[in-house]
Amino acid sequence: MSIIVNDQKLLRFVQEVFQSFGISAEKAFICADNLVLADLRGIPSHGVARLKRYVDGMVNGTILPYAEPVVVREALSTATIDGQAGLGQVIAHFATRMAIAKAKQNGVGVVTVRNSNHYGIAGYYSQMMLEEGLLGLSMTNSAPLVVPTFGVEMIIGTNPISLTAPARRNRPFFLDMATSVVPRGKLEVYERLEKPMPEGWAVDAGGRVTTSAAEVLRNMISRSGGGILPLGGEGELFSGYKGYGMAVLVDILCGVLSGGAYGDMVDSKGPSGENQPAQVAHFFMAINIENFVEMEVFQDKMDDLIDRLKASARAEDASRIFIHGEKEYELYEKHKKEGVPLQEKVYDTLKSIGAQRGVDFGL
């Protein structure tokens, strides 16, 4: 069962929860806007259901809400930032603005970040670049939740990638994807619904495919083996090694290139289970299109590419061919008009957080 809530009321509530920790309204808005946008775009796995994660992190000290990002290395088109274990959304927003400024001045801006935290949906930052008329790329590594091909130990993250590209007549191309079959949040959705998840999403401690989201999530917490499969699935038949390779690519650009953490080093739990900063790393690249080709030419060619894809022959019983981001744009418009659906358990958790933090629920 879902409860429909107004997106602006939800945004206000989440922002006030972040502000209850003493951070500025501006920083709290960035964090809240990222989470609510995920729900508006139909990505509940990364929406306000994750609020408890941030609240718990600020309470237990793995997230330092007052920390300010520090630029530790900089050149004309590049920079490396130390997030000082602060709020991932605030750090990523800062880094993205820097990448945008460098791209506008020098043609390209590449900014890496180390020692950060979970930054929400990757598409939030590529969209910032899109809104400035730039080609935008955003990626982040994450806690080890994915097993490598032929492995049974979680040692790499879901490591998402987002790319945005502007068009003229059509909606922008908007890719936002994990390099695993699914993100952890999808498993959490199935656990809350008490439903079996599809076969091929994850494996148990023995490396066998399982449909029990609860079992996999328990194993994640206890580090007892198994985990989510890389994009492509189990073994080599459906090219799971390609998703595995993409996840490592993200780790190289985010963690290795920034001088930060990668693989199973990205974790908020120490060797003995103690709380510690997660050391998440990010990568942002903004490209000034007009340094390569006139914007009008680029947009016209994007429109032509999109038109060709959408006009291509459809499979039997398929009503349309979608372009990346198209469904999310349509859901955004629907949810802005009709309200955001929240699972009952998520709604109750938000209400509980409001009571704990002294914030009026009002949803």
Contacts of 137 (CB under 8 A, 6+ apart): 126, 129, 161, 162, 163, 283, 284, 285, 286, 287
Do 205 and 265 share a structural domain?
A: no
Alpha helices in the chain (DSSP H): 7-19, 25-40, 51-60, 88-106, 123-130, 184-193, 213-222, 240-251, 257-258, 295-311, 326-338, 344-357
In a domain, 322, yes or no: no
In a domain, 6, yes or no: yes
pLDDT of the residue at 262 = 98
Contacts of 194 (CB under 8 A, 6+ apart): none
Do 245 and 147 share a structural domain?
A: yes
Do 133 and 150 share a structural domain?
A: yes
Do 277 and 163 share a structural domain?
A: yes
pLDDT of the residue at 254 = 98
Do 259 and 154 share a structural domain?
A: yes
Do 152 and 56 share a structural domain?
A: no
Do 27 and 7 share a structural domain?
A: yes
- Find where tokens 């999403």 sit: 201
217: CATH: 3.30.60.50
Asked if pLDDT for residue 270 goes beyond 90, the answer is: no
Give the whole-angstrom CA distance, residue 109 versus residue 96.
Answer: 9
Full residue range of the structural domain in which residue 206 is found = 182-228
Q: Which two tokens stand for residue 351?
A: 């209400």
Last residue of a domain, one of 228, 257, 291: 228
Do 171 and 131 share a structural domain?
A: yes
Question: Per the confidence metrics, is the pTM higher than 0.75?
Answer: yes
Q: What is the DSSP letter of 141?
A: -
With beta carbons less than 8 A apart as the criterion, state whether 162 and 137 touch. Answer: yes
30: CATH: 1.10.1530.10
With beta carbons less than 8 A apart as the criterion, state whether 120 and 88 touch. Answer: yes
Give the whole-angstrom CA distance, residue 269 versus residue 122.
Answer: 23
114: CATH: 3.30.1370.60
With beta carbons less than 8 A apart as the criterion, state whether 196 and 115 touch. Answer: no
Q: Which two tokens stand for residue 77?
A: 């088109």
Q: How confident is the model at residue 180 (pLDDT cuts 50, 70, 90)?
A: very high
pLDDT of the residue at 57 = 97
In a domain, 150, yes or no: yes
pLDDT of the residue at 127 = 98
Do 140 and 277 share a structural domain?
A: yes
Give the whole-angstrom CA distance, residue 31 versus residue 91.
Answer: 10
In a domain, 271, yes or no: yes
Do 154 and 302 share a structural domain?
A: yes
Last residue of a domain, one of 193, 228, 263: 228
Do 175 and 98 share a structural domain?
A: yes
Do 248 and 186 share a structural domain?
A: no
Mean pLDDT score of the chain: 96
- Total domains present in the chain: 3
Count CB neighbours of 327 within 10 A. Answer: 13
In a domain, 152, yes or no: yes
In a domain, 174, yes or no: yes
pLDDT of the residue at 269 = 81
User: β-strand 78-82 against 108-116: which pairing, if any?
Assistant: parallel
In a domain, 323, yes or no: no
Asked if pLDDT for residue 221 goes beyond 90, the answer is: no
Q: What are the backbone angles phi and psi of residue 111, rounded to the nearest 5°?
A: -130, 125
Q: How confident is the model at residue 71 (pLDDT cuts 50, 70, 90)?
A: very high
pLDDT digits (tens, 9 = 90+) for 101-113: 999 999 999 999 9
Mean pLDDT confidence for 12-26: 98
